[in-house]
Structures are given as structure tokens and as C-alpha cells.
Amino acid sequence: MKKNIINITSINTKVFLVLISFAVLMITDSCNWFTSWDDSYDFTIKIDSFAVTKEWVNRTDTLQVAFWGTVGNTECHSFKGFTKSITQDSAFISAAGHKSAKYREICSNADIKITGEICSIFPVSEGTFTIIVKQPDGSALEKQIWIH
């Protein structure tokens, strides 16, 4: 009879140790989840203004467009680059930003801007060429130039 009691106690101890091991594993795994999250994202920058370096260019020239705008209000905001789509008579451009938001990352307040960042465009054909800059709210800024 005594032998059976020891076996039951031994089984209870093993089950208890397995449950404790499982609990420790779950706690350490959940702590890792809390310390490793990354909520970073890309976004469209609001452009305040843009300027074309020339009022007209030759079709073989590179058209350079300079942009000014606010990227964000913390050091976790940064300018990522331009996306552009060129058609026969227009260029659709948007400025992309990146917001880094990682666990325990401190973002000091800062006014992050783009000031004169250049986007180069190669016009396709002669005539009136429209530059359309996409804004975050869906609106757009436009300028026209003449391509010779």
C-alpha cells in the first residue's frame, strides 16, 4: 500500500513540475512579446509647396522639382523618399515619410521638415506637362510647365 502512495505522490510531483515549467515558458514568452513589438508605419507627407527649377525644359533634360513640407513632430519621424508615376503629359508624385514606433523607443519632440528635397523627372513628350503632388487628405497641388 505504501508503494502506491509514493507513486501517486511522484505522479503529482511530475504533473506539478510540468505545469510550473509551462507557466514559466508562457510568462517569459509573453515578456518577449511585450519587449519586441514594432508599430512602425509609412505615410504620405503633407507638402506645403513645391518649385520647379525652370519654367520650361527640353524633352531630353531632367526636370528637377524641389519640395517643402512637414514630416512630423518627433525625432521618430523621417523622410523616406518620393514615389512617382509618369504619363505622357503629367507626373504624379507623393512624398513618403516613416514613423518609427518600437517598444521603449523614446521620441523627443522635434519639428521634422523636408526643405528643398529634389525629385527628378524625365518628361516623355513635348507640350504642357502637369506636375501633380498627392496630399495625405486626397487633395493635390498642381503646376504646369512647358516641355520643348
pLDDT of the residue at 54: 82
Summarised one tens digit per residue, pLDDT across range 51-85 is 998 888 888 889 999 999 999 999 999 999 999 99
| pTM given for the model | 0.71
pLDDT of the residue at 5: 55
Under the banding of pLDDT at 50, 70 and 90, the label for residue 118 is very high
pLDDT of the residue at 82: 98
* 24-to-11, 18, 31, 36, 129 alpha-carbon distances in Å: 20, 10, 11, 18, 65
* 31-to-25, 37, 132, 141, 143 alpha-carbon distances in Å: 10, 11, 47, 47, 53
